Amino acid sequence: MNPSLLPPHNPDAERATLGCLLINPESWYDIRPIITTPTDFYIHRHQWVWEVIQELTKTGQPVDLLTVSDALERTGKLEEAGGSAWLTSLITDVPTSLNAVGYARIVHQDAERRSMLNLANEIAQSVCEGRAADDLRSLIRTHLDERTMSNGFVRLSNLLSNLYDQIEAAEANPREVWGLPIGFPKFDKATGGFEKGSLIWLAGEPGIGKTWSLTQSALKMGEVEPGVLISMEMKNESIARRALSGVSGIRIKSMKSGLGLPNDWRSRFDTAAAQLSDLDIFIDDANYTTEQLWATLKSQKRERNIGWFAVDYAMLFTDQAENDNVRTEIISRNLKLMCKEMDLVGVVLQSVTKSGMDGSANTASQKSSMRGSGQQVHDADNILFLTPFTQLSEKDDIIREADKKRMVTLHTKKGRELETLPVCHLVRRNDSPFFDEFDHELYAQKRLNGVPERLETHFTKS
């Protein structure tokens, strides 16, 4: 057939796109928003390679010549595609792997042209068949709506209709916390809770209490929806021990040594274990790349309908890159895509830079003090910092120095759609390493009534 009579397509751009993916699998996340379906490729064997790469990525497997070749062979398509030599040529013939997005756009534009050509042919045939003009207009609208949906675009009027339904449902069931709460009542009311699709960074210096706060938040979110808590820093048993200590008030040191156990530790254990056992929280201490986590969360979403995930902590992901900045950029981008595409709340711990640790509490709570790439700030829906006690207002003047040592300050430095960015003091419970919100009025009242120096409750109980 005369090449000029073939539908629009560019074999070189299709080959180059696939070659870039084989050279640098991370370019998948740049290309995927552009090429939305295998049929964007005109040549069938290119569609097969795309489908294989897509499946390998979804299941967290590495993408390279060997894995793609093996997958094609198992489906009986390798030889039909051209064999291992043809697959290797996809890499060797790539002009430059830096232009993956440009090649993908050429492929997608040709797919758009083929779609329009198909529509034109269908219209021409319908006209010849004598179909009414209204039917033809409907055919065009349907085609455009389908292409719009496949490209991720949604008609504004449809969104407004959905928003009306949401507002009407909210009116019928008004509530101050509509997202997932993390267990600090005033904070949860100020934020409305964390919304699905959101990525939340919780940052702070070592030893400030990030892991305790993450565990506590996970337990609270687990009261509302199933979720997964992943710690690449501690073993599963250590995570469970922390949860038990936080709920029961039995110190971890006493659990391990047998010394200093409260007389009622058995009843405390039974009560806490019953509370924790009711939660649909699934714990894993394996090491992950973000691609492997993506596959795991997808499986958990399908099997257990999880609504959130929590990770301790970001720098322990085993994604590879030339430096920390690039690595955290990849990690951050992938975490954001996971939250958005699977409609999950993601709470991830991050450390701060040396200046964030050495400076004042105010310096430590700046977005620029987060370790790694600034891309994290752009990807985040919420950024929270835990710092040592920070003076917030004159109301803090009544707090004794001894009590300040038991307190940290939770700063909100970014919050999409938040009217205000809440800041609050948290205080460690007397009988537990978990935190509660500090209550100035209750604290002042107890001081006035001469409560002994070690206050039992001067916080808002969650």
Over the stretch 217-258, which tens digit does the pLDDT of each residue have?
999 999 999 999 999 999 999 999 999 999 999 999 999 999
Supply 420's token pair. Answer: 């205000």
pLDDT of residue 60: 75
Whether 326 and 410 share a structural domain: yes
pLDDT of residue 456: 46
pLDDT of residue 359: 53
Whether 74 and 215 share a structural domain: no
Q: Give the domain extent around 441.
A: 185-460
Does the pLDDT of residue 399 top 50, yes or no?
A: yes
The closest alpha carbon to 442, from 462, 431, 457, 452, belongs to 457
For residues 162 and 171, what is the distance between their CA atoms, to the nearest angstrom? 14
For residues 190 and 336, what is the distance between their CA atoms, to the nearest angstrom? 23
CATH number for the domain harbouring residue 106: 1.10.860.10
Task: Give the count of domains, the chain.
Answer: 2
pLDDT of residue 457: 47
The closest alpha carbon to 227, from 366, 344, 399, belongs to 344
pLDDT of residue 351: 92
CATH number for the domain harbouring residue 405: 3.40.50.300
Instruction: Give the DSSP letter of residue 412.
Output: E
pLDDT of residue 298: 84
Does the pLDDT of residue 363 top 90, yes or no?
A: no
pLDDT of residue 299: 84
The closest alpha carbon to 246, from 460, 437, 432, belongs to 432
Residue pair 97/20 in contact (Cβ under 8 Å)? The answer is: yes
Residue pair 200/380 in contact (Cβ under 8 Å)? The answer is: yes
pLDDT of residue 149: 46
Supply 79's token pair. Answer: 């030889």
Q: State pLDDT tens for residues 46-105.
A: 999 999 998 888 777 889 999 999 999 999 999 999 999 999 999 999 988 888 989 999
β strands within 52-204, DSSP E: 199-204
Query: What's the pLDDT band for 294 if we cut at 50, 70, 90?
Result: confident
Q: Is 357 helix (H, G, I), strand (E, B) or coil?
A: helix
Does the pLDDT of residue 204 top 90, yes or no?
A: yes
Q: Which stretch of 100-104, 319-323, 336-340 has the lowest confidence by average pLDDT?
A: 319-323
176 domain residue, yes or no: no
Query: What's the pLDDT band for 407 if we cut at 50, 70, 90?
Result: very high
Please provide the average confidence, as pLDDT, over all residues in the chain. 87
Whether 191 and 125 share a structural domain: no
What is the pLDDT averaged over residues 359-363?
A: 58
Last residue of a domain, one of 106, 131, 156: 131
What is the pLDDT averaged over residues 4-8?
A: 76
Residue 264 phi, psi dihedral angles, 5° rounding: -100, 30
201 domain residue, yes or no: yes
122 domain residue, yes or no: yes
Does the pLDDT of residue 182 top 60, yes or no?
A: yes
Query: CB-based contacts of 438: which residues, under 8 Å, 6+ apart?
Result: 407, 424, 425, 426, 427, 458, 459, 460
Q: Given CA atoms 387, 390, 395, 399 in this order, what sign does their dihedral have?
A: positive
Q: Is 55 helix (H, G, I), strand (E, B) or coil?
A: helix
Does the pLDDT of residue 336 top 90, yes or no?
A: yes
State the Cα angle at 456 between 450 and 457, rounded to 5°.
95
Whether 115 and 251 share a structural domain: no
Does the pLDDT of residue 216 top 80, yes or no?
A: yes
Whether 434 and 344 share a structural domain: yes
Q: Which stretch of 133-137, 315-319, 397-401, 425-429 has the lowest confidence by average pLDDT?
A: 133-137
What is the pLDDT averaged over residues 353-378?
A: 75
Whether 216 and 80 share a structural domain: no
Last residue of a domain, one of 131, 153, 171: 131
Whether 114 and 192 share a structural domain: no
The closest alpha carbon to 293, from 377, 208, 374, 199, belongs to 199
CB atoms within 10 A of CB 449: 7
Whether 381 and 447 share a structural domain: yes
Whether 219 and 345 share a structural domain: yes
What is the pLDDT averaged over residues 201-226?
A: 95
For residues 102 and 31, what is the distance between their CA atoms, to the nearest angstrom? 9
376 domain residue, yes or no: yes
314 domain residue, yes or no: yes
List the strands of the sheet with 423-428, edge to edge. Answer: 281-284, 227-231, 308-312, 345-350, 199-204, 382-388, 407-415, 423-428, 435-438, 459-460
pLDDT of residue 161: 79
pLDDT of residue 431: 77
Q: State pLDDT tens for residues 73-83.
A: 999 999 999 99
Last residue of a domain, one of 85, 102, 131: 131
What is the pLDDT averaged over residues 276-297?
A: 92
pLDDT of residue 274: 96
Query: What's the pLDDT band for 292 if we cut at 50, 70, 90?
Result: confident
175 domain residue, yes or no: no
Whether 226 and 372 share a structural domain: yes
| % of the chain surpassing 90 pLDDT | 60
Report pTM: 0.68
Does the pLDDT of residue 3 top 70, yes or no?
A: no
H-helix or E-strand spanning residue 441: helix 440-448
145 domain residue, yes or no: no
Residue appearing with tokens 């790469």: 53
CB atoms within 10 A of CB 208: 19
DSSP-derived secondary structure for 117-132: HHHHHHHHHHHHTT--
Burial class (CB in 10 A: 0-12, 13-18, 19+), 129: exposed
67 domain residue, yes or no: yes
Q: State pLDDT tens for residues 144-176.
A: 555 544 455 667 877 787 788 888 888 999 999
The closest alpha carbon to 199, from 416, 443, 440, 431, belongs to 416
Whether 247 and 340 share a structural domain: yes
Does the pLDDT of residue 371 top 70, yes or no?
A: yes
Does the pLDDT of residue 18 top 80, yes or no?
A: yes
Beta bridge partners of 384: 202, 412
What is the pLDDT averaged over residues 282-300?
A: 90
Q: Which stretch of 16-30, 99-113, 307-321, 434-448 has the lowest confidence by average pLDDT?
A: 434-448
Whether 104 and 210 share a structural domain: no
Query: What is the residue type of 428?
Result: R
